[in-house]
Structure 1
Amino acid sequence: MSRNLAGGDVQYWESLAESIKKGSIRTSTNTNTQFEELIVKPSKAASTIGPVLIILDALDESGDPIERKEVLDLLSRGFSELPPNYRFLITSRPESDIVSWSEHPTILCKHMDDLDLDETTRDIQRYISSCVYHHYYQVVDTSDNGLYWRSALAKQAKGHFQWASTVCNYILGPTICQTEAVERAKDLVHGSPPTLYQLYYDVLMQQPEFSRQGFFLAFKIIMRILITMREPLSIYALQTFLQEDISYDVCSVIQPINALFPGASSNDPIRYLYASMIDFLTICFIEIVKDEQVKTVINPFTWILQIMVI
């Protein structure tokens, strides 16, 4: 955050550099000290006159309620310590601790359910079109039919950007050609709109070897690590870590489902797409499994416990 703020202000950058010169701040894990030295002090030295907007996306995914308390307390204090031209735009799922925190009189809270659905749908359609454009460096299928499926997908999202984002990852995967992407989009449009969890399931079931006992065991071991590790690992690190525990190559398990795991198509750290993936993998996966071959592999009574134990 501090680096981004320093990018457009020389005075901020100089003040930040002075703070970094202190050896203690480079090794400190105290968030209060970091906030004071890397954000508050440089912001007071900044020459920016106009408004400065800081966007914090998915605050609910910053940790569990205990970990989030420190962040929420820090933000509450930060609102008053930062210059008056600084503003925060924060997005989050309505977790109870965040909802209570947002009731502070200095915070203006907007619920997605209160927004105009038609306007949100138009925003989602622009988002889908933008994803398509940036993926192929051109507008794909500009015919009336092409506009139709992008509009139809936006309506199926029902105002949920997370659903739209997952769909875009699903139809625009790094190994998906343009023709297949359009066909996937049309299949989604012509069928019953899947829920977010059903969409996760459909992506997983694209992997043809999922019903094999050895493959599913490898998948389950990898998921345990992705969920329980505090810091995400790359494919290379996972492969080194698990080379004696699974018979499948980590790439062959993860890369076909990279729509759910950003970083799976490169050597970047692998992360689950959203915090809702944890709920899906530990609770909801059993409830929506429909393939009898997969059912013979999954023990519904031990899955939830096993996936959380290394």
Structure 2
Amino acid sequence: MPSINCCVGLIRVPKIIVAKSDLDDLIYAAGASCSPEKNCLPGTRQSIIDEIVNWAHQPQDNPSCQLLWLYGVAGSGKSAIAHTVAHRFDACQRLGSSFCFDANQATRGPEHLFSTISRDLADFDNVWRISLSNAVKGKKSIRGTHSVVLQFENFLVRPAENLDIVGPVVIVIDALDECGDANSRKFILEILETRLSELPGNFRIIVTSRPEPDIRKRLWSHPHILCKDMADIGMSRSIKDVEIFIQRELGTAETSLSEHFPDWCAILAKKSDGLFQWAFTACSFIKQQGRLPHEYFDVIVKGSEGGDSQLDNLYSQILHHSLLYQDATVLERFQTILGIVLTVKKPLLMSTLGALCLEHNMDIVKSILMPLGAVLHGVTSESVPIYTLHTSFRDFLMNENRSGIFHVEAKKANKNVTSGCLASMLNKLQFNICQLQTSCELNQDVVDMEKRIKDHIPDDLSYACTFWAEHLEDSDYAGQAEVNKFLNTKLLSWLEVLSVMGLTKSAMGSLQKLYRWTNVRCTWIKT
């Protein structure tokens, strides 16, 4: 973006407006911040929340005050604590930024973290905004970089040189384990381990994650990192907090449950082993329509005790109850349809999922998804995207040793999505798809472009044009004829769709993925 002169004619443009313009093209993950709706229930997790707040207010010369790593198993309540702490510091104007990684969201990758944090800090402090603007002014390649290291140096270290805020500036990073695999997050971990001293001493960074081996190796046993294990909260306190949660969630079902199980709340809390996600999933299952609450309760309490964990056991019980699991046809449908849900790069509506599923019609898609409201979000609505309520359910299905007959194989799932994407593009792409009146007008100058896109580019086609190559590369897809047909007949129309959607830059990345796939899978393009 060209630099903006601070004086236009006789009208002086405020520096803050110029700074805003300089930051417009920095990568930003909208919707990644913590939300008060996900806070802990009042009266629960109080001791660990108070400990974190007190830690953040320690003098800045305390060597263990740069980073706090809160870790624990899936479903132990780490994220709820992160959201609560972020809300607490936001209320006293001490929250610089919060960022929640989410395996369901492709737009929350490692390359979004430091850029988003810095733009949040620009809203938090005007001096930071001006310093950040000066750091990236005239450097288009830096403003658009996906390099985690360059982002840290240019978006955080350089703007911090002029910061003069007194008191703690808190940054919350939730679910670091969900930002990708170990290779994806290695540079973030390296920075957290070795370079935080380059930031102001009053910065307080709170990170939550599972204790994955690579994260533990990097963050464990450093003088500037305080490590807190969720297991240290104590089982009795955790179970009591879970009991409060269950009582609130199932209050309307209390009469039915009490008639058959007088100690129902204590029974569920004890069975949870202190895992909030277990309690949440169990309550969602009990509240489903179709049976009385005490009948669903009975399924949970008297179910089999196998499995690697309480969560795995609960997921198995729910799936056994919700599906005709002994029917090979139903299992095949489940694996195909859930495979699409788990591998798409962003949550999609049921109608869009159905359009990408070539093997089954919409009625079958609905018949599989709608009974799974205890583990999937959005299955009872036509207007809400569908995704797993917790990443532990995704992990359960993707691990054959844990999920058994319900296992979803990632490469096969990506192959199915690839087929759906190519079919959508081959059938629906056409020249001048948005019916523009002239090719002489820039896209941004077409006043009703947004409406044209909505009217003429269906959601499945939009998704296919954006992500087909990512699924292709991640799959064992071998449909050379379909790819060849797409390249020969629809390539220009595909580029046109990317152009009107403002995604032209992504075309090169898609073609690079296609090239890598051809090197692995076939030789027909080379010849």
Q: Over aligned residue pairs, what C-alpha RMSD do you find?
A: 4.2
Residue 311 of structure 2 aligns to which amino acid in structure 1?
L
Q: Is the 8 A contact 2:354 2:362 kept in 1?
A: no
Specify whether residues 213 and 97 from structure 1 end up closer, same or farther in structure 2 by C-alpha distance, changes over 3 A only.
same
1:236 aligns with 2:351: yes
Mapping of 1:150-161 within 5 angstroms?
150-161=265-276
Task: Report the Cα distance in structure 1 between the residues aligned to 2:150 and 2:195, rounded to whole angstroms.
Answer: 12
CA positional deviation for 1:20: 9.0
3-state DSSP of counterpart to 2:399 = helix
Q: In the alignment, residue 211 of structure 2 is paired with which amino acid? A: P
Q: What is the CA deviation profile of residues 61-95 of structure 1, one whole-angstrom value per residue up to 9, with x for unaligned ones?
A: 22222112122123335632333333233332222
**Secondary structure class of the residue paired with 1:109:** strand
State whether residues 54 and 87 of structure 1, in contact with CA within 8 Å, keep that contact through their aligned partners in structure 2. Answer: yes
Which moved further from structure 2: 46-55 or 94-103?
46-55
Aligned partners of 2:228, 2:124: CA distance in 1, in Å? 31
Secondary structure at 2:390 match in 1: coil
Q: For residues 113 and 84 of structure 1, what CA distance do their matches in structure 2 show?
A: 29
Q: 2:171 aligns with which of 31, 50, 54?
A: 54
1:216 partnered with 2:331: yes
2:359 is the alignment partner of 1:245: yes
Secondary structure class of the residue paired with 2:223: coil
Pairing partner for 1:167 from 282, 296, 315 = 282
Which residue in 1 is equivalent to 2:246?
Answer: 128
The CA distance in 2 between the partners of 1:109 and 1:221, in whole Å, is 40
Q: 1:168 to 1:55 in 2, by over 3 A?
A: farther
How far apart are the structure 2 equivalents of 1:208 and 1:114? 38
The size of the alignment, in residue pairs, is 288
The answer (yes or no) to whether the contact 1:124–1:164 under 8 Å persists in 2 is: yes
Which structure has the bigger radius of gyration? 2
How far apart are 1:257 and its partner, in Å?
0.8
Where 2:171 maps in the other structure, the secondary structure is: strand
Which stretch shows the higher mean deviation, 19-28 or 152-161?
19-28
Is the 1:197–1:284 Cα contact (8 Å) retained in structure 2?
no
* Letter of the structure 2 residue corresponding to residue 67 of structure 1: S
Give yes or no for the alignment of 1:273 onto 2:390. Answer: yes
Q: Distance in 2 between matches of 1:264 and 1:305?
A: 22
Query: Do residues 110 (structure 1) and 228 (structure 2) align?
Result: yes
In the TM superposition, what is the alpha-carbon distance from 1:192 to its structure 2 partner?
A: 7.1
* Structure 1 residue 80 corresponds to structure 2 residue 197: yes
CA apart distance, 1:5: 4.5
Which structure 2 residues correspond to residues 170-181 of structure 1 after superposition, within 5 A? Answer: 170-172=285-287, 176=289, 180-181=292-293
Q: Which residue of 2 aligns with 1:31?
A: 148
1:15 Cα deviation (Å)?
4.7
Q: Indicate which of 68, 74, 84 corresponds to 2:185.
A: 68
Deviations 1:238-273 (A, max 9, x none): 21211x321453333223213223344453252462
User: Any unmatched runs of 5+ in structure 1?
Assistant: 134-138, 290-297
CA shift for structure 1 position 119: 1.6
* Distance change >3 Å, CA 59–CA 150, structure 1 → 2: farther
Q: 2:385 is matched by which residue type in structure 1?
A: D
Q: Which 10-residue stretch deviates more, 35-44 or 92-101?
A: 35-44
Q: Return closer, same or farther for 1:253/1:141 CA change in 2, 3 Å cut-off.
A: closer
Report which stretch shifted further, 43-52 or 59-68.
43-52
Q: Deviations over 1:206-231 (max 9, x none)?
A: 33555544433222112333444444
* Residue 49 to residue 11, structure 1, CA distance change in 2 (3 Å): same
1:120 Cα deviation from its structure 2 partner = 1.8
Conservation of the 8 A alpha-carbon contact between 1:218 and 1:248: no
**Percent of paired sites with the same residue:** 29
Equivalent residue in structure 1 for 2:296, among 171, 184, 195: 184
Describe the SS at the equivalent of 2:206. strand
Report the alpha carbon displacement of residue 283 of structure 1 after superposing the two structures with TM. Answer: 1.2
Which amino acid counterpart does residue 162 of structure 1 have in structure 2? Q
How many Å apart are 1:29 and its aligned residue? Answer: 2.1
Change (3 A) 1:188 1:206: closer
Name the CA shift for 1:222/1:20 in 2 (closer, same or farther; >3 Å): farther
Residues of 2 paired with 1:256 and 1:164: CA distance?
19
SS of 1:108 mapped into structure 2: strand
Q: Which amino acid aligns with 1:127?
A: F
**Does the Cα contact within 8 Å between 1:60 and 1:92 map onto a contact in 2?**
yes
Contact 2:171 2:206 in 1 (8 A): yes
1:9 to 124, 130, 154: 124
Cα separation, partners in 2 of 1:17 and 1:97, compared to 1, 3 Å: closer
Structure 2 unaligned segments of length 5 or more: list them: 1-98, 100-115, 416-527
Match of 1:99 among 216, 221, 227: 216
Q: What is the one-letter code of the residue matched to 2:145? A: S
Letter in 2 for 1:203: I
What is the one-letter code of the residue matched to 1:124? Answer: V
Quickly say closer, same or farther: Cα 1:193–1:221, change in 2 above 3 A: closer
**For the Cα contact (< 8 Å) 1:13–1:42, is it kept in 2?**
yes
For 2:304 and 2:136, locate their aligned partners in 1 and report how far apart those are by CA, in whole Å.
54
Contact 2:378 2:384 (8 Å CA) reproduced: yes
Structure 1: how far apart are the matches of 2:298 and 2:160?
49
**Which amino acid is 1:59 matched to?**
L
Q: Return the TM-score normalized by structure 1.
A: 0.70
Contact conserved, 2:132 with 2:158, CA < 8 A, in 1? no
* Contact persistence 1:282–1:307 (CA under 8 A): no
Q: Distance in 2 between matches of 1:204 and 1:10?
A: 49
When residues 248 and 206 of structure 1 are mapped into structure 2, their CA distance, relative to the original with a 3 A threshold, is: farther
> Which residue does the alignment assign to 1:196?
311
Q: TM (normalized to structure 2)? A: 0.45
Question: Which protein has the bigger helix share?
Answer: 1
Cα distance in 1, alignment partners of residues 175 and 317 from structure 2: 24
